[in-house]
Amino acid sequence: MDLDPEDVFKDEEDGSDNEFFQQSASSKEYVVYLVDASPKMFNTTCPGKDQKDETHFHLAVSCIAESLKTQIISRSYDEVAICFFNTREKKNLQDLNGVFVFNVAEREHLDRPTARLIKEFDCLQESFMREIGSQYGIVPGSRENSLYNALWVAQALLRKGSIKTADKRILLLTNEDDPFGGLLGAAKADMTRTSLQRAKDAQDLGISIELLPLSCPDEEFNVKVFYADLLGLDGEDLVQFMPSAGQKLEDMKDQLRKRMFTRRIIRRITFDITNGLSIQLNTYALIRPAVPGAITWLDSVTNLPLKIERSLICEDTGALIQEPPKRFQPYRNENVKFSMDEISEMKGISTGCLRLLGFKPLSCLKDYHNLRPSTFVYPSDQEVVGSTCIFIALYRSMLRLKRFAVAFYGSSSHPQLVALVAQDEVAKAGVQIEPPGINMIYLPYSDDIRDVEEIFPDTDDDAPRADEDQIQKAAALIKRIDMRDFSVSQFANPALQRHYAVLQALALEEDDIPETIDETLPDEEGLAR
């Protein structure tokens, strides 16, 4: 087999398919939606989108449904499970009373959302009372504790995967701020203690528990009664909890079909500072371009993804070649053979670690040195204890001396130089706008920098020049149209929104395509004013 040098030494990470543009398995998220199905959730109403009253249960289900539709677009690798507690029927692997895990055929309890799951979950409210039912799971005279059972089932569902490769969360939706309010004395104290211990056990395993409270129209949800202890809230966190929780609920209700790359760990890398001294860093992708998902070929009968396999056949005998192929390169009338392992070893220029080379003044770093979107790095003590302490010392020194670090980084096929620039924390009115850390900027090689070509001849007569008055007016115009507090997240790509809306209508067999709003169009009313 001829050896093509261009093919052997090509950059495997070029293009939009590399690790920085795709959600990898290391950034997965496992979520269990834990929904209270007690009669109080059906009896309490609140104003809906059309100014019509809707029950808290309807609100919770619609929020989860919208979140699932958005997840297929923005976080397709994440896996979810939906669990109801305070139910009449029970359906869970632990066979615990008052807990019902909702699922559809051909899907694990904790799995990626499917079109069938979303369709049946959308229609669940019509048949919920008939097939699942609602009842109070914590009543006087009974030892049943539906909240404890629900946390146990959720924790068991999240046993899948490791906390090193996935984030695990339990989202609890309820309008009952005191689940043990109907009990007295020792029974109440015992159930409260066991429920708090069950939640602590889950948190010790790396599972975060988040509460999305639903307040009654005449009474606000009082998190201090019980859930502050379950979530571990105190001080400023307790004061800020209700506004932030309300904002999360609004986000779930009004999510756009945006493909946004959330700030999750892309890769854990080792930073070699000097001989024998290394720390661990987590890398994050802050801003990446949004593109439609890659095409996946499906089987026309089973609708399952096709797996491509390649086999080599001998031209002389027609038999399958079992041994790994070897390639050769002609050299001085002789064919030099290479095995695939030898080729991989030749391509192994870099070990994949980040290695410090030295420091330079910030004035040496130019704007045009930014070759592609930078990566944000932050220390982690998970595997290398003391990484945060060393990172902070290096970070503070770089800020104080106004210098950036030059380092060598890259995969075995794409090594390159990077600049590590310290970023100071930016806070406004007590709210963090930019976190402290280091940005990793990918530096170009000399071949990547092109000189600006002159469009016009080097004569004053042929090249049009602006006079001083025109320059001043242009500068004043630019200052007037400056947009304050601008963020790329404020505007959705209308073409992508339309693309996702059509996909949703096809997947869910909807008659009408959801309406999309083009936020890039000019504000006619504002311009008129």
Query: What is the pTM assigned to this prediction?
Result: 0.65
Each domain of the chain, given as residue ranges in start order, spans 28-260, 267-290+350-448, 464-528
Residue 349: how many other CB atoms lie within 10 Å: 12
Residue 261 CA, distance from chain mean position: 6
The letter for the amino acid at 256 is L
Residue 219: left if φ>0, alpha if ψ -120 to 50, beta else—which one?
A: beta
Q: Which residues pair with 338 in a beta bridge?
A: 327
Q: Where does 75-213 have alpha helices with state H? A: 115-122, 124-131, 146-157, 185-204
Tokens of 436: 């402290």
256 backbone dihedrals φ, ψ, rounded to 5° = -85, 165
Confirm if 167 and 29 have CB atoms less than 8 A apart: yes
Confirm if 256 and 492 have CB atoms less than 8 A apart: yes
What does DSSP say about strands 28-36 and 79-85: parallel, antiparallel, or unpaired? Answer: parallel
What is the pLDDT, as a whole number, of residue 461? 57
Domains 28-260 and 267-290+350-448 share a fold: no
Tokens of 282: 């987590």
Q: May I ask the CATH architecture of the domain 464-528? A: Orthogonal Bundle (1.10)
> Per residue in 2-29, is it b (16+ CB within 10 Å) or e — as a string?
ebeeeeeeeeeeeeeeeebebbeebbbb
What is the pLDDT, as a whole number, of residue 18? 45
pLDDT along the chain (529 residues), means of 10: 39 40 57 92 72 81 85 78 93 91 88 87 87 86 88 92 81 89 86 92 90 80 87 79 67 53 73 88 81 80 84 86 81 86 75 87 89 88 88 93 91 81 83 84 85 59 79 89 72 83 80 81 82
Tokens of 466: 């602006």
Q: Which long-range contacts (CB under 8 A, 24 or more apart) does 65-69 make?
A: 65/118, 65/121, 65/122, 66/252, 66/253, 66/255, 67/252, 67/255, 68/113, 68/117, 68/118, 68/121, 69/118, 69/257, 69/504
CA nearest neighbour of 40 among 215, 228, 243, 249: 215
Let me know the angle formed at the C-alpha of 227 by 226 and 229, rounded to the nearest 5 degrees: 80
Residue 208 and residue 196: Cα distance in Å, rounded? Answer: 14
What is the pLDDT, as a whole number, of residue 466? 87
- CATH 2.40.30.10 for the 267-290+350-448 domain, yes or no: no
Q: May I ask the CATH architecture of the domain 28-260? A: 3-Layer(aba) Sandwich (3.40)
